[in-house]
C-alpha cells in the first residue's frame, strides 16, 4: 500500500496508548500492509507499531528473519499482530535495542527471554505464538509502542545504558 513517515521522539503521539480494533475492519488490513511496507523500506528494521506512523490502533508487525541475530535462531517469519497481548513471560536478558523513532540512540534494556503472545492476524485468525531470544525481544519492543513506551523508558540509567549510534 504505502510507506508512511515514521514519527521521531519526542513526538507526543509516541507516548499515547493505542486502542483495540476489529481485526475484520478492512482499514486494519491496509494498516498492516502499510506497516510491512514501512518496515521493509527502512532496510534495517525488524518491527514497527502503528503509533510510530501516527495511528493509535493496536497493530504491530515483526520480522527478524533478515537480521543477523534473527538468522541465528528459530523465528516465525513475518508476524502481523492485531490486538497482541503477552500472556506468558519467563527468563530475563539484557539486549541492546534501537528504534526507528529514536534514530540517534541505542540502549541496554532488560526483557523476558521467552514469551507467549496471543493476537489476531490479518486473516482474522486467533494465533498463539511462543518466541525466544531476539524475536521475543523485538515483539516486546513493538508491544511497548502500543502502550506508549519507548525503549528509553526501560533503561536502568540514561547515563550508563544509552549510547549514541555510530554514523554509517
CATH number of the domain at 149, please.
3.90.45.10
Question: What is residue 166's predicted lDDT score, i.e. its pLDDT?
Answer: 81
| DSSP-derived 3-state class of residue 39 | helix
Q: What is the reported pTM?
A: 0.95
In angstroms, the CA 20 to CA 119 distance is 11
Nearest residue to 32 (alpha-carbon basis) of 113, 120, 141, 94: 120
CB 36 within 8 A of CB 129: no
How many domains does one find in the chain?
1
3 located within any domain: no
Question: What is residue 73's predicted lDDT score, i.e. its pLDDT?
Answer: 76
Q: Which three cell numbers stand for residue 115?
A: 514469551
Alpha helices in the chain (DSSP H): 26-42, 68-71, 133-146
Q: Inform me whether the pLDDT recorded for 147 exceeds 90.
A: yes
In angstroms, the CA 87 to CA 104 distance is 32
From residue 51, give the alpha-carbon distance in Å to each of 46, 128, 140: 16, 23, 15
Instruction: Give tens-digit pLDDT for 78-134.
Output: 999 999 999 999 999 999 999 999 999 999 999 999 999 999 999 999 999 999 999
Catalytic machinery residues: 142
Instruction: Give tens-digit pLDDT for 33-46.
Output: 999 999 999 998 99
- The whole domain housing 19 covers 12-164
4 located within any domain: no
Q: What percent of the chain has a predicted confidence (pLDDT) above 90?
A: 85
In angstroms, the CA 37 to CA 43 distance is 10
Question: What is residue 38's predicted lDDT score, i.e. its pLDDT?
Answer: 98
Residues in the chain: 168
Question: What is residue 140's predicted lDDT score, i.e. its pLDDT?
Answer: 98
101 located within any domain: yes
1 located within any domain: no
Q: Inform me whether the pLDDT recorded for 24 exceeds 90.
A: no
Task: Indicate the average pLDDT of the chain.
Answer: 94
CB 46 within 8 A of CB 67: yes
5 located within any domain: no
In angstroms, the CA 84 to CA 59 distance is 7
Q: Inform me whether the pLDDT recorded for 18 exceeds 60.
A: yes
Amino acid at each position: 500500500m504505502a510507506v508512511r513517515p515514521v514519527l521521531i521522539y519526542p513526538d507526543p503521539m509516541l507516548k499515547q496508548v493505542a486502542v483495540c480494533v476489529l481485526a475484520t475492519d478492512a482499514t486494519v488490513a491496509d494498516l498492516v500492509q502499510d506497516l510491512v511496507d514501512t518496515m521493509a523500506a527502512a532496510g534495517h528494521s525488524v518491527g514497527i507499531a502503528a503509533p510510530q506512523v501516527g495511528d493509535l490502533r493496536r497493530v504491530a508487525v515483526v520480522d527478524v528473519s533478515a537480521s543477523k541475530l534473527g538468522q541465528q535462531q528459530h523465528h516465525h517469519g513475518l508476524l502481523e499482530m492485531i490486538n497482541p497481548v503477552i500472556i506468558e513471560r519467563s527468563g530475563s536478558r539484557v539486549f541492546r535495542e534501537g528504534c526507528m523513532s529514536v534514530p540517534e540512540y541505542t540502549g541496554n534494556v532488560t526483557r523476558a527471554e521467552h514469551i507467549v503472545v496471543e493476537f489476531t492476524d490479518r486473516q482474522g485468525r486467533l494465533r498463539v505464538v511462543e518466541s525466544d531470544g531476539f524475536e521475543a525481544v523485538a515483539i516486546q519492543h513493538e508491544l511497548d509502542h502500543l502502550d506508549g513506551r519507548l525503549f528509553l523508558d526501560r533503561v536502568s540509567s540514561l547515563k550508563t545504558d544509552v549510547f549514541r549510534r555510530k554514523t554509517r
